[in-house]
Amino acid sequence: MGAIEAAQNLLVSFAEKAVDEGKLDTILVPRVSEVPSRSLRSIAVDYGKGNVAEKTVLTPTSELMQIVVLSRSMDEIAERVSKMIAGTKDGQAVTFGEFVDLWRITGILADAVKPAKTETVNGSPVYVHGGPFANVSIGIPTLVSVEMACALHDVVVVEAGYGTDAGAQKWLDIACREFGAQWPSAAIVVTRASTWRDDPELAWRYPFHVQRLENLDIPTFPLINLWEGEDDQVPSLKATADELGFRTPIIGNLFRDGGEALVPQLDGFVDALENGSMPAEPHSHKGMALAENAKWVAENAYGVPADRVIYKPGFTESAAEAMELCQSAGISLYDLAFVAVKSPATMTDNDRAPEAERTVTLKKVEVHAGAGLVHVNLTTSLTTPMPKIV
């Protein structure tokens, strides 16, 4: 993380120097920080020497993090960094490849591209590498770490955080469809017992996640994580799962009993792994107009029909500017993979509203040409502060 932070901030420093030298008029790449502080959003760097972006975002949300996640070699990282749009000159896009010696960046990233192997308390190997925060970025581990794990182990579990509206949607649509990652053989959706019991207004969300994956022909198993004092709820939880049409749920107190306690409940999951699943219809599509793509994702990943997708004032202008920026860089906006930037705590503008009143609002568009992504920010998105615990 620290190497990626240093590398992206060095890119911004090169861009600031390019402003002084007359190579850039504006800078479009933000500085980054590992510190989740709202106050960093209002810091102005080099004010008065060009239209320098007055913002700092969390390192995991940065384009450089996305490039590391989606690249399979240092050469690919260098190529993608060269395509990052640094800013504009006379209204035309200028990439970092036009004025930065890329070895300065790849040298900083040399160790950052190597997956780190750790292990669970039970001794299972864990590869921790890249890609947190599926709400404000792509939220997936590096493709290199996943492919290495698949080469070394019979079964690999990929964490795609926050649910089918965030991590799972981006794993399926971006990692699998656009970058050739392996389609999942099965899925597990984790929840707490209290999710169904304590908040009726939000009780619809967990079944939505499970059913969404099942609709993609991915065998999906509920995993209900009990807290202390909830063991007596197992019969009622199984009954609720049966009423909802779920597969047999996996239930246990993982903190107290560890993973071994779940082994007797895993037969159905293991059978699903052996049978596998085939890729189904994507949530988002390359080649589709940006607004239509956003509506497709809202309807399929958030359960909000297209006619309840709202444009915030300025969104249309932001989309047009993104289109012009891409054209001046010699790329098509439609060729970039779609990434929704949203809150991890909510799927819509108001999850507590009745189903017929839920909406999704589109706020602005950002181009990450080096990563091959276009971001559409929703009104619930924040890229600097840490989210509330979900």
List where CATH 3.40.50.300 sits in the chain: 116-275
CB 60 within 8 A of CB 1: yes
Own/partner long-range contacts of 154-162 (Cβ < 8 Å, ≥24 apart): 155/273, 157/188, 158/184, 160/134, 161/132, 161/133, 161/134, 161/344, 162/134, 162/135, 162/344, 162/390
Contact predicate 138/131, CB 8 Å: yes
Mean model confidence pLDDT for the chain: 86
What per-residue confidence (pLDDT) applies to 180? 85
pLDDT bin (cut points 50, 70, 90) of residue 81 is very high
pLDDT at 15: 95
Supply the DSSP string of 213-279, one letter for each residue. Answer: HHHTT--EEEEEEPPTT-GGGHHHHHHHHHHTTPPPPEEE-HHHH-GGGGGGG-HHHHHHHHH----
Separation of alpha carbons 351 and 378, rounded Å: 14
Confidence of residue 384 (pLDDT cuts 50, 70, 90): very low
First to last CA, the chain: 23
**CATH 3.30.1510.10 intervals, the chain:** 2-108
Rounded Cα distance between 116 and 112, Å, is: 9
Q: What is the pLDDT of residues 326-353, one digit of tens each?
A: 999 999 998 898 888 887 778 899 999 9
Reported confidence tier of residue 37, pLDDT bands at 50, 70, 90: low
Q: What is the pLDDT at residue 46?
A: 53
Residue 269 in this model has a pLDDT that exceeds 60: yes
- Above 50 in pLDDT, residue 49? no
Give the tens place of pLDDT for each residue, 275-330: 876 776 655 566 678 888 889 889 988 999 999 999 999 999 999 999 999 999 99
The tokens describing 199, both together, are: 């908040």
d(CA 110, CA 105): 9
Mean pLDDT of 97-101: 95
Residue 165 has what pLDDT? 84
Average pLDDT over residues 236-257: 92
Selected residue with higher pLDDT from 347 and 370: 370
For residue 115, what is the DSSP state? P
Q: What are the residue ranges of CATH 3.10.410.10 in the chain?
A: 290-378
DSSP tag of 158: P
Q: How far apart are CA 269 and CA 305, in angstroms?
A: 32
pLDDT score at 161: 74
Residue 47 pLDDT grade (very low, low, confident, very high; cuts 50, 70, 90): very low
**Average pLDDT, stretch 231-246?**
93
Share of the chain above pLDDT 70, in %: 87
pLDDT at 101: 92
Total-model pTM: 0.87
Judged against a pLDDT cut of 90, whether residue 30 lies above it is answered with no
Rg of the chain taking only CA atoms, in angstroms: 22
pLDDT given at position 381: 52
Q: Give the pLDDT of residue 50.
A: 46
Q: Give the residue among 78, 86, 98, 67 at the shortest CA–CA distance from 29.
A: 86
Please, what CATH class does the domain formed by 116-275 belong to? Answer: alpha beta
Using DSSP, how many helices (H) and how many strands (E) does the chain show?
14, 14
Hey, is 167 helix, strand or coil? helix
Cβ atoms of 188 and 214 closer than 8 Å: no
pLDDT band at 367; cut points 50, 70, 90: very high
Domain 290-378 in CATH 3.10.410.10? yes
- Between these two residues, 40 and 192, which has the higher pLDDT value? 192
Average of per-residue pLDDT across 198-220: 90
Contacts of 111 (CB under 8 A, 6+ apart): 3
Provide the CATH number for the domain formed by 2-108 in this structure.
3.30.1510.10
